[in-house]
Amino acid sequence: MEVAANCSLRVKRPLLDPRFESYKLSLEPLPSYQLELDAAVAEVKLRDDQYTLEHMHAFGMYNYLHCDPWYQDSVYYIDNLGRIMNLTVMLDTALGKPREVFRLPTDLTACDNRLCASIHFTSSTWVTLSDGTGRLYLIGTGERGNSVSEKWEIVFNEELGNPFIIIHSISLLKAEEHSIATLLLQIEKEELSMKGSGFYVSLEWVTISKKCEDNKKYEVAKRNTLRGKSVPHYAAIEPDGNGLMIISYKPFTFVQAGQGLEESKDENMSEEIKEPLYYWQQTEDDLTVTIQLPEDCTKEDIQVQFLPDSVNIVLKGQMFLEGNLFSSIDHESSTWIIKENNSLEISLIKKSEGMTWPELVVGDKQGEFIRDSAQCAAIAERLMHLTSDELNPNPDKDKPPCNAQELEECDIFFEENFSLCRFDGNTLKTTHVVNLGSNQYLFSVIVDPKEMPCFCLRHDVDALLWQPRSSKQDDMWEHIATFNALGYVQASKRDKKFFACAPNYSYAALCECLRRVFIYRQPTPMSTVLYNRKEGRQVGQVAKQQVASLETNDPILGFQATNERLFVLTTKNLFLIKAEFDLQKQPNLNWKRVDNETGREIITPIHYELAAEDIGTSLPKENPTEAVGSDWEEEAEDEAMRCYVMAVPQDTPPTKPFV
């Protein structure tokens, strides 16, 4: 049985910023627009029998807003009338109503155990759709960016069993055959399970094909099923359809039709657990190798050759063990005998006494090393000075040991067996495994629609974006961007629901269950000179945080980010937040003060720039702008965090003003 290769993610050091300090709260306005929906979103709430954490992850936190990666700033949702509604933004100030592009032919409310309807944009002209009742639709859309040629038509629809949601899909054209590969997720009851939640997660890899020269209809060509005990954070099919990548807390395995999850596990375990060919142990002077012989094996069937640096063992004319030894032996003093229990015992005399061998034959993994109790006691005695019964026996040391009480809650990550696996599409075996350990999964984003979705992981305090490259077998995951300190910052957002970033990595954004949206921008150069008095250095760039509060009390159901805009969906409204806009056109502010000598009110036009460090003076919260002088740096306070403003005379070239 082939063993999956253990891989690791290679971080690109140039993409890390060890001097990053913090995000500075920006008061810059975020233009937002609100559209009222004609019909409510087709939200499906969890039933009483969907009580597990996996149900909540898969269906309770489902994103009802879908972004078309081939045509940015075009979003879709499904309403409770079964209509797929589209909003394409051409001009923010002239937003139209969402338009209907397709209507499901079945009544969504007729099925009692239905799930939320899901949609995935397979290519620029194909869409896969699930109505939430167990039926899969393949739809040809034409060029969706062209209103003249766009026309949604069903080319395939079939009942596939229990209700599911679509995770991913791709379009393939090979050897005059067009195929659509889809990945479907289900959570099913495990009747015979007496432990755990009583449910298992099923990922079904369905391929729908049609010969290009034939007039036949599309039909299901292949169905493969993976099962596991946790909902995957990330699952995607490779662009060429030859593999599948999954990030999950618990492992997934392919199962045959009619085979249970436990049966599959037992079968895999039996393949992996093999009886060692030989056992060996060692002392300071020699090594002993024990081999269990076949029942009809005699002394004449055994040939053992001792060489100074190698050993060859032949049983019944077949080579049993050969190779270079870890170190030299006294080959003339080494012997072998047949024991009463029909085993072959070989004694090898070490040339270098006292040396501990980590392996018998270099590179051979067929044997098992047995350590006796005397050796274990000796090793424990040698390591005694490194251990203690006390948690911190010497607290005055320069670097005292860290204990759990010193950790913050955001540093605790419970998914210890978190892993990234790559499955081969032909053999259905795991080919690559990455142990992610404490690298918490944050979100996924489509940077290039022709490539697999990227995934973002927490590394220490940062958030690192990774692009899978299935064509590079030796380095399948590329580090393409870093969001500084975002891994740490997002951990404090207890009410966060959705997480995303712009495809050009210019910002990351997260939204809470209600109202608030947080934007974290990449560091940008400053157009004015800003000096850090504490460290005596000039600040060249600042990373800004912005907060938008939506005028609604409805829960947020969907969230999507593009390079220029954020889309937020609630039950009755669709909000658009302009993430990128021309700040130079924003009006400057005025500083108002009263001259002590004349008593006249003086109004000075100013604009504000964010400063980087505390200079020790607090302004009143009621109206901090009235206490700011035109040539001084002062500190302002906000409920969320402390930030700093600098008043600049109007004749200074305008920068990014705050309101």
pLDDT for 179 equals 94
- Nearest to residue 57, comparing CAs of 197, 170, 181? 197
pLDDT for 499 equals 96
The answer to whether 40 and 80 have CB atoms below 8 angstroms apart is: yes
pLDDT in tens, 575-603: 999 987 544 444 444 445 555 566 665 55
Cα separation, 252 vs 232, in Å, equals 9
Greater confidence (383 vs 111) lies with 111
Cα separation, 460 vs 487, in Å, equals 7
pLDDT at 387 over 80: no
pLDDT for 272 equals 44
Residue for token pair 């007039």: 215
Q: Which of 154-163, 206-215, 495-504, 542-551 has the lowest mean pLDDT?
A: 206-215
pLDDT at 134 over 50: yes
pLDDT for 438 equals 78
Average pLDDT over every residue of 167-189? 92
User: Predicted confidence band at 440 (pLDDT cuts at 50, 70, 90)?
Assistant: very high
Greater confidence (271 vs 580) lies with 580
The answer to whether 420 and 245 have CB atoms below 8 angstroms apart is: yes
Sheet strands (E) in 161-282: 165-174, 177-189, 199-211, 219-228, 234-237, 243-248, 253-255, 278-282
3-state secondary structure 454-487: EEEEEECCEEEEEEECCCCCCCCEEEEEEECCHH
User: Predicted confidence band at 533 (pLDDT cuts at 50, 70, 90)?
Assistant: confident
**Which of 12-26, 104-118, 281-295 ranks highest by mean pLDDT?**
12-26
- Nearest to residue 546, comparing CAs of 567, 525, 521? 521
Average pLDDT over every residue of 400-409? 51
Greater confidence (298 vs 122) lies with 122
In sequence order, which residues have a C-beta less than 8 Å from that of residue 487 and are 6 or more positions away?
Answer: 440, 442, 458, 459, 460, 461, 462, 463
pLDDT for 408 equals 57
Average pLDDT over every residue of 560-568? 95
The model carries a pTM of 0.68
What is the percent of the chain where pLDDT is above 70?
Answer: 76
Instruction: Find residue 512's DSSP bridge partners.
Output: 496
Residue-range domains of the chain with CATH: 47-223 (no CATH), 278-380 (2.60.40.790)
The C-alpha R_g of the chain, in whole angstroms, comes to 33
Cα separation, 589 vs 29, in Å, equals 13
**Which of 48-52, 200-204, 434-438 ranks highest by mean pLDDT?**
200-204
User: Predicted confidence band at 406 (pLDDT cuts at 50, 70, 90)?
Assistant: low
Greater confidence (605 vs 142) lies with 142
Return the number of other C-beta atoms located less than 10 Å from residue 215's C-beta. 6
User: Predicted confidence band at 61 (pLDDT cuts at 50, 70, 90)?
Assistant: very high
Average pLDDT over every residue of 311-335? 87
User: Predicted confidence band at 610 (pLDDT cuts at 50, 70, 90)?
Assistant: very low
User: Predicted confidence band at 44 (pLDDT cuts at 50, 70, 90)?
Assistant: very high
